[in-house]
Amino acid sequence: MIRVQTAPEFSERLNRASINKRCYPWDKDVIDWSVPITDEYLYVPEEYSILYGTPAWDRLDFKAKSFVTRWEFTQLMRNAGAGEHLLNQAILAVLHHTDQYDPAWRFMLHEVAEECQHMAMFNHWTRLNADIKTKGLAGDKWGLIASMLTPFFATKAPVFFWMLTALFEVTGDDMARCQMKNAAGNLHPICQQMGRAHMIEEIRHIAFAQAWMENAIPKMSTFQRTLLSESAERITTQVLRIGFRLPYSSQIADHVSYAEFKAGIHSEHRRALFNRQITPTINDLKEVGVIRKSAIRAWEGKGLLQAAAC
């Protein structure tokens, strides 16, 4: 059995929140899927476009920006849907080894249900944009291996699993907040509504993962904490070095060259944005003793992390 590491009272609060504030994506007051998809809108907040902050972005007219951002958002939603599926596999594996009378067991069921909604929401967007090719791109290759590994890690190393969950969920939460705010006022309404629905429920999922880590880590042996730190730091190093990239596609070749796309991925703006996304999780992991100060100094020294970030 996996010992639950969240207080019953905390899990019950999350359960009540899931009951009272669930965003079912086919309720019209949550997402109005009837809004036409046209080139009058952008489809990611402009600062999240791979090209933003580069000469290529300044060169494109609004219609071209609309297509490129719709391509980006559809690729992201396709990959996010696959990610939610992997997360659900892991949580379901944990449920098989958890006391079903603990309130946390019920919350994990809520989380699975909410992640199913997110997965369906993301996949529906992909289907609505059938002109955007998603199947067959580089992202397909990791899916099979990851689907076998996630349940194993989740049951054998729950703290490691919840650490990974927090690391990746917080990054998506940052973009969802910007979608919801729609500060520039030019984001497609469906994208704005999807961001709001995703963010409201992800707040609970992140809180549960963080609470599990905070309660479990002090109980771990020195060897276990060292192993967790080394694993977390290796993964974070790779994430900082590579980021969450999309592969280039000939679909956007009429608007953006491969060289321009690559320059956008490596731009200063992109690095600063990614630092902003990942810094909250790095700070949280530092506070609970997973990420060590020596690792942060090393990342800063290599230019992977901005010194002011942590």
pLDDT mean for each 10 residues of the chain (310 residues): 94 96 93 97 96 96 98 93 90 95 96 95 96 71 76 91 85 87 95 95 93 93 93 89 83 97 92 84 85 91 67
Say which residue the tokens 């997965």 belong to: 119
Say which residue the tokens 């609060």 belong to: 13
CA distance 303 to 300: 5
CB-based contact 43:69 (threshold 8 Å): yes
In a domain, 280, yes or no: no
Percent composition of the chain: helix, strand, coil (DSSP 3-state, to 5): 70, 0, 30
* Number of compact structural domains in the chain: 1
Q: Which residues contact 305 (CB under 8 A, 6 or more apart)?
A: 240, 275, 279, 282, 296, 299
In a domain, 292, yes or no: no
In a domain, 266, yes or no: no
Q: From the centroid of its chain, how far is CA 268?
A: 21
In a domain, 293, yes or no: no
CA distance 104 to 99: 9
In a domain, 255, yes or no: no
In a domain, 239, yes or no: no
Q: What is the pLDDT of residue 277?
A: 83
- What's the domain range around 60? 8-218
In this structure, the dihedral spanned by the alpha carbons of residues 111, 115, 116 and 118, taken in order and rounded to 10 degrees, is 150
Of 200, 52, 209, the C-alpha closest to 118 is 200
* pTM of this structure: 0.91
Q: What is the pLDDT of residue 89?
A: 92
In a domain, 258, yes or no: no
CA distance 278 to 308: 13
In a domain, 310, yes or no: no
